[in-house]
Structure 1
Amino acid sequence: MKITLMKGKIHRASVTEADLHCEGSISIDRALSQAAGFLTNERVEIYNIDTGARFATNVIEAPPGSGIIGLNGAAARLAMPGDKIIIVAYALFDDAEARTFRPRVVRVGRENRILSD
């Protein structure tokens, strides 16, 4: 049996841009994406804290240190710049892995900068 667990998340990121006419995806600052353990093209779930919208798309890379969290294509209809979102990736684990695995949780503050714990 496989168990689905959160693999990584970026918590309370601010959407910086929304481009309806760009190919669909979410652009994430490379430094944030790496800190959360996200891979380019990986499926992520997005939870809009401000509106309650929940949707999925794939990750594309934005320049490291840019703070960019950009929604592209149809996803741009579900959040607007300034909205706070949670971005989560999940993975399948067998029972033994699931009992020891620890997800990467990245908390961000102003301008989507990583907060230290």
Structure 2
Amino acid sequence: MFLNVLKSKIHRVKVTQAELNYVGSITIDEDLMDAAGLLENEQVHIVNNNNGERLITYVIKGERGSGIICLNGAAARRAQVGDIVIIIAYGLMTPEEAGTHKPTVIFPDENNRLVKG
């Protein structure tokens, strides 16, 4: 049996763009992707703190250091620029793996940049 367990999370980033006329996905600053352990094309869940919307999509690499968080395609209808979202990735693990797993959770600043410290 496998359990679907929190793998990583980017907690409370600001949507910087919403591009309706684009093939669906979410574009994420590559620095944030690396810090959270997200891979390009990986499935993620997006939770919008402003309106309660939830959606599932996949990751596209954004320019490193740009702070970009852009909802693309139909997902652009689920958020407005300035909304605060949480980006969540899950992984399948055995109960033994899940029992010792520590998810990666990052807390970027108000400009979607990694906090040094």
TM-score (ref. length: structure 2): 0.97
State the partner residue of 2:30. 30
Unaligned runs of 5+ in 2: none
Taking the aligned partners of 1:111 and 1:22, their CA distance within structure 2 comes to 24
Question: How many residue pairs are counted as aligned between the two chains?
Answer: 117
1:60 corresponds to 2:56: no
Taking the aligned partners of 1:116 and 1:80, their CA distance within structure 2 comes to 28
Taking the aligned partners of 1:66 and 1:84, their CA distance within structure 2 comes to 17
TM-score (ref. length: structure 1): 0.97
C-alpha distance after superposition, 1:27-72 (max 9, x if no partner)? 0000101111111000100000000000010000001100000000
Taking the aligned partners of 1:7 and 1:116, their CA distance within structure 2 comes to 22
SS at match of 2:98: helix
Taking the aligned partners of 1:116 and 1:108, their CA distance within structure 2 comes to 9
Deviation beyond 4 Å, 4+ runs, structure 1: none
Output the aligned Cα RMSD: 1.0
Taking the aligned partners of 2:116 and 2:97, their CA distance within structure 1 comes to 27
State the partner residue of 2:5. 5
Unaligned runs of 5+ in 1: none
State the partner residue of 1:87. 87
- Report how far residue 109 of structure 1 moved: 1.4
Tell me the percent identity.
49
